[in-house]
Structure 1
Amino acid sequence: MSAPSHVLPQQLSVADGCLQLGGIGLPRLAERVGRTPFYAYDRGQIAQRVGTLRRVLPAGIRLHYAMKANPMPAVVQMLTGLVDGIDVASGGELRVALDTGMAPERVSFAGPGKTDGELRSAVAAGILLHLESEQELDRVAVAGEHVGVVPRVAIRINPDFELKLAGMKMGGGPRPFGVDEERVPAMLRTVRQRELDFQGFHIFCGAQNLSAAAIAEAQTLSVQLAVRMAEHAPAPLRQVNIGAGFGVPYFPGDQPLPLEPVANALQQSLDLLRAAAPDAALALELGRYLVAEAGVYVCRVLERKISHGHTYLITDGGLHHHLAASGNFGQRVRRNFPVAIGNRMAGEAREVVSVVGPLCTPLDVLAEQMPLAPAVAGDLVVVFQSGAYGLSASPAGFLSHPPALEVLV
């Protein structure tokens, strides 16, 4: 088989010239789903990724799933049996988490702009609330009085440092996320005064990082910061969530994140935390890293079109289902996700084409000037690395095309 000239999951399986997902050939899977476009997530790959983390990382590290990466209920339900907690960022995600049967004390709720209704629901359910501001602390206290429950809280800290080389920076400098580091001691005094149930800290610096050294440095600094802030806390630390930042390779030249250096640094951080707070748990919040490489987006070629010598494959899918693959979800310079003609994976023949969707905008591009197997109407285009920030992160209502389906195989 001649693979596409892009990063592909190591677990890629091909039989009879067709991509296999969950042991099912892509054409047969498309028949079972009933129509294109659709997302397919491979449960075996997700379980394998969690298993690798359990094997490599220190035994005392807790793994949490950040549902924002992929909130499909079946995916969340599956991960509930594999991870130690679920992190949500909206009332809708909170309902999905609680419906899985995950114990409420293992669910946390972060993010700015929580509504009063969301706060009351979370407090009543016993969810751990990550406080993003002093004002939110006051609103949480009021919510607790309203429902007659003492709120469980952690303070999200916006640290003075950042995660270097992160594809998305979430801490360091002015941010809408968390409480600036220098204001945390005063906020902890307010937590004591309001008699809230203090649990610990949330320190999330950034995401999508492939540098083990940068991740290790940020996580070490995060634990050191939590230990310093614990001196002002109204109760002993019980949990420190340091995010993760683990990235996945999307583009040519990207190399998978080496876990061993991160694991070694985490062991030292875990030892430091246990020395200062013996009962505190150290949690990693992982989203993209658990599910991205386990998912594909599949759409069907409707037409081949040539314009001024440039060949276009026009498909029934596009940015309305997969904004990230179109390059409009944070890329500074547009680069192609790994793409293939999923039912033509054998052979060496390639042609340079652009894969575009049905939307009335030049932004609707899934692959631009990319060497792919020669394709005709009816063939299946596959966008790899699509298990995270796919359908739920896309403008599905644009032009009112049918929504993409989702399956877990």
Structure 2
Amino acid sequence: MNHTATPDLAATLIAENFSRDATGVLHVGGLPLTALADTYGTPLFVYDADGLRRAYRALKQAVAGFAEVDYSVKANPNPAVIRVFHAEGAGAEIASGAEFDAAMQAGVPPEKILFAGPGKSAADLDRVIGGGIGEIHLENREELCRVAAAAERHGTTVRVALRINPGATAQGGAMRMGGKPSPFGFDEEDLSEAVDAVEAEPRLHLVGLHLFAGTQGLKAETLLGQWAYGLDLAAQIARKIARPLETIDLGGGLGIPYFSGDATLDLNALRAGLPPLIETVSTNPLLAGARVVLEPGRYLAGPAGVYLARVLAVKVSRGSRFVITDGGMHHHLAASGNLGQIVKRDFPLVAVSGGEGVSPCTVSGPLCTPLDVLARAAMLPTLAEGDLVAVLQSGAYGLTASPTGFLSHPPPAEVLVDGGQAASIRSRGD
């Protein structure tokens, strides 16, 4: 069964993040997408720096007094995007040596970077430890040994945290990351043994906990429950090592609405639920001095971006309308429904210049596969060759989460709009 993002969701997102002018043309950061498409070509990713800042500031204010907010680089690793968040005070969570380089290029000090991920290579560990990384999150015994060996090679002691795969009661969100067999982290039932293994390594200094129970969470109560669970696990580690923790990383997982029926995460409800968690931290001497951190990516970057594609052809096949564009799953796998979704649902997709005569259509890309579909039942006006469509909620898990090499089409350009000025932050084909 297919589900379609309603025009109401798209209209709401445009009102919250963008605008249309008197002629109906969609603007990002005050600039018409028609002009940006003419200047930079299509397909094209466009990000609004003010939108990135609004999301960061809103979340930072909502969790003030409880947690700091870092940026999960995997959501969008373009250094220009990272730089916007760093200027707002965010550190960076990375998942590879290349993301470490991107964060450094964006100006993030190495001591404000933490490294997570279940398969850190010896080469990447040498890269980040040699670069002075602030913290590495351990996820298995072999990795623990690799980090210790790399620390020995570099003649240093590395600050580490344990990523814990929590019990079933901590699960939540659209994609469970805990509460089941998982490649991520040490199982909760093995916490004590994992602590002992780290403490036995003289080159490792255990400073914290990392918990990531689920992603794309849209309910405040789910997130609050996960965070409370994480604080309990942190207290267990601190009691085990008999010293205060320095870091409690409660992960990201904050979601954004993509589909009909999705509710926007209620930051007021999130804020209202924090006092018991703040009390838990402040009244426990083993936790009170710790830096509690959230490291979302999608929530911060997603709403500020659009993916722009130009119509190549419009056809009717056996009574169904197809709009064929120059953009597709090779640039935006998530919008195609092929990034882990079981039920393929349409991202909010709109005509850049508006129009009349709205009716359902399939929006497909240029690739030679039936999987290359950006929307299966999009409600769009009459379109013709040369018109533009825009996929909303495309600032996160877009270009770098897609099979850009498939059929050898050139990667699209990326543009950042800031203060009414557009700047290329990745050239077409780069």
TM-score, length-scaled by structure 1? 0.95
After TM superposition, give the deviation of residue 6 of structure 1 in Å: 3.5
Q: Structure 1 residues 130, 22: CA separation in 2 closer, same or farther (over 3 Å shift)?
A: same
> 1:126-275 to 2 correspondence within 5 Å?
126-127=132-133, 128-161=135-168, 163-195=170-202, 196-233=204-241, 235-275=243-283
Contact 2:346 2:377 in 1 (8 A): no
Match of 1:301 among 291, 298, 311: 311
Match of 1:63 among 65, 69, 78: 69
1:38 partner letter: L
The reply to whether residue 113 of structure 1 matches residue 116 of structure 2 is no
Supply the distance in 2 between the matched residues of 1:278 and 1:213 (Cα, whole angstroms).
Answer: 23
Contact 2:66 2:274 in 1 (8 A): no
Q: Which residue of the partner structure matches residue 103 of structure 1?
A: 109
> Which secondary structure does the structure 2 equivalent of 1:319 belong to?
coil
Q: Which residue of the partner structure matches residue 323 of structure 2?
A: 313
Supply the distance in 1 between the matched residues of 2:127 and 2:157 (Cα, whole angstroms).
Answer: 13
User: Structure 1: 5+ residue runs without aligned partners?
Assistant: none
User: Structure 2: 5+ residue runs without aligned partners?
Assistant: 1-5, 418-430
2:292 partner letter: L
Supply the distance in 2 between the matched residues of 1:388 and 1:107 (Cα, whole angstroms).
Answer: 19
Q: Structure 1 residues 359, 101: CA separation in 2 closer, same or farther (over 3 Å shift)?
A: same
After TM superposition, give the deviation of residue 267 of structure 1 in Å: 3.4
| More displaced stretch, 156-165 vs 291-300 | 156-165
Supply the distance in 2 between the matched residues of 1:154 and 1:124 (Cα, whole angstroms).
Answer: 18
Q: Which residue of the partner structure matches residue 291 of structure 2?
A: 281
Supply the distance in 2 between the matched residues of 1:84 and 1:155 (Cα, whole angstroms).
Answer: 22
The reply to whether residue 377 of structure 1 matches residue 380 of structure 2 is no
1:147 partner letter: H
After TM superposition, give the deviation of residue 213 of structure 1 in Å: 1.4
Q: Structure 1 residues 46, 163: CA separation in 2 closer, same or farther (over 3 Å shift)?
A: farther
CA deviations over 1:138-193 (Å, ceiling 9, x no partner)? 11111111111111111111111355441111111211000111222222222222
Supply the distance in 1 between the matched residues of 2:406 and 2:274 (Cα, whole angstroms).
Answer: 43
After TM superposition, give the deviation of residue 12 of structure 1 in Å: 2.7
Contact 2:52 2:301 in 1 (8 A): yes
CA deviations over 1:204-259 (Å, ceiling 9, x no partner)? 10100111111111111111121122111264200100013211001111110111
After TM superposition, give the deviation of residue 55 of structure 1 in Å: 2.3
| More displaced stretch, 24-33 vs 40-49 | 24-33
Number of aligned residues = 404
| More displaced stretch, 388-397 vs 180-189 | 180-189
Supply the distance in 1 between the matched residues of 2:281 and 2:168 (Cα, whole angstroms).
Answer: 19
> Which secondary structure does the structure 2 equivalent of 1:202 belong to?
strand
Q: Which residue of the partner structure matches residue 75 of structure 1?
A: 81
Q: Which residue of the partner structure matches residue 389 of structure 1?
A: 397
Supply the distance in 1 between the matched residues of 2:386 and 2:357 (Cα, whole angstroms).
Answer: 18
Q: Structure 1 residues 60, 139: CA separation in 2 closer, same or farther (over 3 Å shift)?
A: same
Supply the distance in 2 between the matched residues of 1:162 and 1:143 (Cα, whole angstroms).
Answer: 36
> Which secondary structure does the structure 2 equivalent of 1:39 belong to?
strand
The reply to whether residue 92 of structure 1 matches residue 92 of structure 2 is no
Superposed CA RMSD in Å reads 1.5
Q: Which residue of the partner structure matches residue 354 of structure 1?
A: 362
Match of 1:21 among 21, 25, 28: 28
Supply the distance in 2 between the matched residues of 1:13 and 1:227 (Cα, whole angstroms).
Answer: 47
Supply the distance in 1 between the matched residues of 2:19 and 2:164 (Cα, whole angstroms).
Answer: 43
Q: Structure 1 residues 267, 64: CA separation in 2 closer, same or farther (over 3 Å shift)?
A: farther
CA deviations over 1:113-137 (Å, ceiling 9, x no partner)? 1110111122222221000012211
> Which secondary structure does the structure 1 equivalent of 2:346 belong to?
coil
CA deviations over 1:86-108 (Å, ceiling 9, x no partner)? 00001110111122221211100
> Which secondary structure does the structure 2 equivalent of 1:231 belong to?
helix
Contact 1:163 1:215 in 2 (8 A): no
TM-score, length-scaled by structure 2? 0.91
Supply the distance in 2 between the matched residues of 1:122 and 1:274 (Cα, whole angstroms).
Answer: 32
Contact 1:108 1:129 in 2 (8 A): yes
Supply the distance in 2 between the matched residues of 1:211 and 1:101 (Cα, whole angstroms).
Answer: 33
Supply the distance in 2 between the matched residues of 1:25 and 1:108 (Cα, whole angstroms).
Answer: 38
| More displaced stretch, 94-103 vs 281-290 | 94-103
Contact 1:207 1:247 in 2 (8 A): yes
Supply the distance in 2 between the matched residues of 1:285 and 1:333 (Cα, whole angstroms).
Answer: 27
Supply the distance in 2 between the matched residues of 1:400 and 1:162 (Cα, whole angstroms).
Answer: 45
Q: Structure 1 residues 165, 280: CA separation in 2 closer, same or farther (over 3 Å shift)?
A: closer
Supply the distance in 2 between the matched residues of 1:299 and 1:402 (Cα, whole angstroms).
Answer: 14
Contact 1:352 1:370 in 2 (8 A): yes
Contact 2:171 2:178 in 1 (8 A): no
| More displaced stretch, 385-394 vs 209-218 | 209-218
Supply the distance in 2 between the matched residues of 1:234 and 1:174 (Cα, whole angstroms).
Answer: 29
Supply the distance in 1 between the matched residues of 2:47 and 2:170 (Cα, whole angstroms).
Answer: 29
Supply the distance in 1 between the matched residues of 2:18 and 2:107 (Cα, whole angstroms).
Answer: 32
1:79 partner letter: F
